[in-house]
Structure 1
Amino acid sequence: MHQLSSLDAQFLDAETSTTSTHVGVLSVLGPTTPGGGLTVQDLRTLAEGRLHLVGPLRWRLQEVPLGLDRPYWVDSEFLDLGYHIREVALTGPGTDEQLAEQISVLSARPLNRNRPLWECYLVNGLTGGRQAIYTKVHPAVIDGLTAAQALAVLMDTTPRPRTVPHRLSDEQYQAAGALGMLGNSAWHLALLPARLMWSSLRLAPHLPELARTLTVPGADLLGTLARRLTPRAWWWSADEPTAEVLTPPDTPFTGPATAHRRFAFTSLPLGEVEAVRTAMGFTVDDVVTALCTTVLRRWLIDHDALPDTAMAAAMPIAGRTDAQFAAAGHRLSLLPIALPINESDPARRLQKVHTSLTTAPQRFRAAPATLVRDFGAALPRALRGLLSRTPLRTLTMPTPPVNLIISHAAGPARPLYAAGIEVTGNFPVSAVSDAAGGITIAAMSYGRHLDIGIIACRNLVPDVWDVTGQLHQALSELTACTRNVRYLRPCRPPESR
């Protein structure tokens, strides 16, 4: 038996009728000759011969009776590729905007928890004889930063498909018996008081900061009471680090998200991004985050909604080793970062982004949201499920309260091929939620370009294509800044990224 981790279970519990936590990748295939395109049967045959390379894609959930504990993974005896791999077609003319609209619809649909938590769609009808493959997977199976790499192993690095020896996955889990699951649940319940006590003592000193991030009635009163009652608890957490807490300001995309999505994508020349990094002495993460900050600033100005303070964002960082590449579960941490959207000068905006990313690890160690996540993991699953449907759902969310999530991952450096057809673009398709903001920007390098996917709640950010259009102007703006960079270089040598 293999039980889901507390964090993986939190991602399951965070899903509601308006929020799905699955992530995905949109792979655009190059043009082919008439009649030479990829068929859905070709895609199923390709997957059938290679799914054993990523064992978790064969697993499904098995719930504990009465919901007393976290679910278990069990191996599917039969994987219905006819269900998991499907085909859709665009009506003419098949533009990128139509493709993005189709992905918006597909990404809004929740995954079926009675089957392995992934789906794949072959999209036909794009202009110029192109096709696309959209794959989505739940983060409890494989986290977002690893999903694109895991799916890449199902493809090839040459036009000629390689031969993959078939073998069973090293990790196979049989269905768990009810008595065995209940026995484990009894043990976990026996340890529950100690876990709750420890998590509560660590969280208590940070209640004043936490109250500022809550949007429930009485949050200010809670903060006042916490400031009076928690000084006595500081001696329990004397070794806990402290740092400035990021409080998300009000923005048009900070609010209850609906079930409807809007997706847009674009590509930037990776060479230009790296040229800015080299000339100004920062990192690729710095440059990408600065680009995102610039387009958000311009969007907020256009909507007369620019806050006076920096925006609170979260950036996923990988915690997966090479040995854990195909292992199940969410192995990411979220770094809290400040986006200086109130800085008008683009060069100084980049400098402030660099400072924020440099201090982010310290802020992460001290962030109340991290302690809240640990506290939520210590709660019984049944209670956590009830709280997730109340205004106190912040206590159960796997992500901290932020305005949005920004991610950047290094993708394949060489071109990929699906059944001999070249993949010309790999665009991340992330998720949005009430806690993590109504918009998410995800970037991934692929070959010599940086592919960016932006997904948003349709009601909160209906004009998401305007955001992608601003990215090219933001990069040109930073390129122009490289002519005068002497006073901008960071005080320490940048990392390789």
Structure 2
Amino acid sequence: MRQLSSLDAQFLNVESPTTVGHVGSLIVVDPATAPGGVWNVETVRDLLEPRLHLAAPLRQRLVEVPLGLGRPYWVDDPHFDLEFHLRELALPSPGSREQLGEQVARIHARQLDRSRPLWEGYVITGLEDGKAAFYSKIHHAAIDGVSGSEIIETIMDLTPEPREVEPEAEPFVPRPMPSTVDLVGRGLRSLAMNPLEVVRSVPKSLSYLDQLPGAAGVPGVRLVSTTAGMVGRALGQHVPDLDARDLRAPRTPLNGPITAHRRFAFGSVPLADVKRVRNHYGMTVNDVVMALTAGTLRRWLLDHDALPTSPLVAAVPVSVRTKDQRGELGNQVSVMVAALPTDVADPVERAESMRRSMLQAKRHFQAVPATLLQDLSTAIPTALSGLAARALFRLATLPGVPFNLFVSNVPGPQRSLYVAGARVEGIYPVSAVTDMTGGLNITLFSYDGHLDFGFIACREMVPDVWKMVGYLADALDELVASVPD
């Protein structure tokens, strides 16, 4: 049994009729490279089944602690059925990229069954040019971006010929499900230990409470942070004085209460072009990505006559996973906040402004404890955590939003990969949107010489999400054109 961390539990608790807590990926493949050109649900199942032991969450389900006395546990599913989780569908041939995106959006909008392991996989055939795809989703309570990438690697190989995998030492025999008495006992012990955990971690983090996105606008938060900082310094703790940043996210059509419906679009840009811009302007790859995002959003907002005069504000997830934590499951993540210069018309000036904004965001982020989100999640009583999480994610209904959207960059391998012999042509993330985080999420994965972008959006807020794929490519072309040959 493995108990969810306090942060893991928040991803579970935010789910509502309009919000899902899972993340996914769309892997586009070329079946022509598979043995005999055959690639279907049977060949994928034959590959995945002997590798299930390499990714524990695939065979584990949740059990709740009665009366909310403690956070849920992951346990072996005694009724695990691979055929339930691995499914097949076909688009009317030849299925276009837009039709594939629509199908993925519909599947992604459906919540996972909590009585089973929290993942599903879909083998999708019938795509144009003879291509196929594998879409999968898994709950964010089980993984973050880095550990999710490690799970995806379970079904991937470096050559068309699948690698030999060391079999399980013993056949999979699920442990007995914990009894109600056992769970209640664990919950009571957790309640007894929670105050000690809070006392150990939260007081140090309270000094940084106002650094959480949007927290500074909540009445009393600055006073709590200032007071905690003064007390900490009096006790000899190192509490740095952080430069004040007045990041105010403007209202846009991307922000407000979302619906349960989604749209999904995807596309790629050459990594070589991104690096060319990076080298010329003294940026990082992620700086360039953020500049492209700013250019894309500027054009989309102009389309809708909704471009604010001030910059948009983006939340950027950052992995705080240490080398010692590599391979561990659950979430080891924090959030950095940066201004997106959507108010700057010139692409070169916009890129330079983005570089300065990211430098400032990184300095600010590095001064804040990496475990801030985890520590403050610990302070929420287990029985109230669901209410607290849902209340937090409804903040978008109030005046002022903490940020306009999430933009996430997940590093990946720069070489070809294969799934059941089929060459992987692209790996497109499918993330999540909420009332608080905005009706659009842009996540990208670097793979084999290109950056693969996934745009997931509330269907009613961004009905024309495919335009953003083209705008992204145009934004890169503008910057590449500004670089001397």
SS at 1:125 equivalent: strand
Matches within 5 A, 1:19-34: 19-32=19-32
Distance across 2 between alignment mates of 1:204 and 1:3? 28
Q: Paired residue for 1:495?
A: none
Residue 11 (str. 1) matches residue 11 (str. 2): yes
Instruction: Flag the 1:469–1:249 CA change in 2: closer, same or farther, 3 A.
Output: same
* CA deviation after TM superposition for structure 1 residue 228, in Å: 7.5
Q: Is the 8 A contact 1:293 1:340 kept in 2?
A: yes
SS at 2:409 equivalent: strand
SS at 1:236 equivalent: helix
Instruction: Flag the 1:234–1:305 CA change in 2: closer, same or farther, 3 A.
Output: same
Gaps of 5+ in 2: 234-238
Q: Paired residue for 2:452?
A: 451
* CA deviation after TM superposition for structure 1 residue 401, in Å: 3.5
Match of 2:191 among 189, 195, 207: 189
SS at 2:92 equivalent: coil
Distance across 2 between alignment mates of 1:17 and 1:48? 33
Which is further off, 346-355 or 295-304?
346-355
Q: Is the 8 A contact 2:439 2:462 kept in 1?
A: yes
SS at 2:78 equivalent: coil
Q: Paired residue for 1:293?
A: 294
Distance across 2 between alignment mates of 1:169 and 1:351? 57
Distance across 2 between alignment mates of 1:155 and 1:370? 32
Q: Paired residue for 1:331?
A: 332
Q: Is the 8 A contact 1:55 1:326 kept in 2?
A: no
Q: Paired residue for 1:255?
A: 256
**Aligned amino acid, residue 183 of structure 2:** M
Residue 70 (str. 1) matches residue 65 (str. 2): no
Q: Is the 8 A contact 2:394 2:435 kept in 1?
A: no
**Aligned amino acid, residue 182 of structure 1:** V
* CA deviation after TM superposition for structure 1 residue 79, in Å: 2.6
Q: Is the 8 A contact 2:320 2:370 kept in 1?
A: no
Instruction: Flag the 1:201–1:421 CA change in 2: closer, same or farther, 3 A.
Output: closer
Cα RMSD for the two superposed structures: 3.2
Distance across 2 between alignment mates of 1:402 and 1:148? 26
TM-score, structure 2 as length reference:
0.88
Instruction: Flag the 1:392–1:426 CA change in 2: closer, same or farther, 3 A.
Output: closer
Instruction: Flag the 1:277–1:372 CA change in 2: closer, same or farther, 3 A.
Output: closer
* CA deviation after TM superposition for structure 1 residue 289, in Å: 1.1
Residue 235 (str. 1) matches residue 230 (str. 2): yes
* CA deviation after TM superposition for structure 1 residue 26, in Å: 0.5
Q: Is the 8 A contact 2:61 2:114 kept in 1?
A: yes
SS at 1:355 equivalent: helix
Q: Is the 8 A contact 2:209 2:215 kept in 1?
A: no
Instruction: Flag the 1:445–1:169 CA change in 2: closer, same or farther, 3 A.
Output: farther
Q: Paired residue for 1:270?
A: 271
Distance across 1 between alignment mates of 2:180 and 2:454? 43
**Aligned amino acid, residue 336 of structure 1:** V
Instruction: Flag the 1:314–1:420 CA change in 2: closer, same or farther, 3 A.
Output: same
Q: Is the 8 A contact 1:58 1:116 kept in 2?
A: yes
Instruction: Flag the 1:326–1:86 CA change in 2: closer, same or farther, 3 A.
Output: farther
Q: How many residues align?
A: 472
Which is further off, 57-66 or 320-329?
320-329
Instruction: Flag the 1:309–1:170 CA change in 2: closer, same or farther, 3 A.
Output: farther
Instruction: Flag the 1:339–1:368 CA change in 2: closer, same or farther, 3 A.
Output: farther
Distance across 2 between alignment mates of 1:165 and 1:369? 36
Matches within 5 A, 1:30-69: 30-32=30-32, 36-69=37-70
Q: Is the 8 A contact 1:200 1:375 kept in 2?
A: no
Which is further off, 106-115 or 312-321?
312-321
Q: Paired residue for 1:421?
A: 422
* CA deviation after TM superposition for structure 1 residue 173, in Å: 7.0
1:179-213 CA-to-partner distances (Å, cap 9, x unmatched) read 44333332332355566677478548856998776
Q: Paired residue for 1:152?
A: 153
1:241-288 CA-to-partner distances (Å, cap 9, x unmatched) read 434253322111111111100000111111111111122221111111
Instruction: Flag the 1:194–1:401 CA change in 2: closer, same or farther, 3 A.
Output: farther
Q: Is the 8 A contact 2:215 2:402 kept in 1?
A: no
SS at 1:463 equivalent: coil
Q: Is the 8 A contact 2:316 2:336 kept in 1?
A: yes
Once the two structures are aligned, what percentage of the paired residues are identical? Answer: 45
1:69-102 CA-to-partner distances (Å, cap 9, x unmatched) read 1001112234311111001111243000000000
Which is further off, 197-206 or 425-434?
197-206
Q: Is the 8 A contact 2:6 2:374 kept in 1?
A: no
Instruction: Flag the 1:228–1:450 CA change in 2: closer, same or farther, 3 A.
Output: closer
SS at 1:150 equivalent: helix
Distance across 2 between alignment mates of 1:227 and 1:448? 45
* CA deviation after TM superposition for structure 1 residue 360, in Å: 2.1
Distance across 2 between alignment mates of 1:211 and 1:451? 29
Instruction: Flag the 1:168–1:33 CA change in 2: closer, same or farther, 3 A.
Output: closer
* CA deviation after TM superposition for structure 1 residue 347, in Å: 1.7
Instruction: Flag the 1:249–1:371 CA change in 2: closer, same or farther, 3 A.
Output: farther
* CA deviation after TM superposition for structure 1 residue 3, in Å: 0.9
Q: Is the 8 A contact 2:338 2:357 kept in 1?
A: yes
Instruction: Flag the 1:91–1:196 CA change in 2: closer, same or farther, 3 A.
Output: same
**Aligned amino acid, residue 236 of structure 1:** V
* CA deviation after TM superposition for structure 1 residue 297, in Å: 1.2
Instruction: Flag the 1:307–1:59 CA change in 2: closer, same or farther, 3 A.
Output: same
Which is further off, 384-393 or 415-424?
384-393
Distance across 2 between alignment mates of 1:11 and 1:168? 33
Matches within 5 A, 1:31-180: 31-32=31-32, 36-167=37-168, 175-180=177-182
Instruction: Flag the 1:353–1:208 CA change in 2: closer, same or farther, 3 A.
Output: closer
* CA deviation after TM superposition for structure 1 residue 237, in Å: 4.4
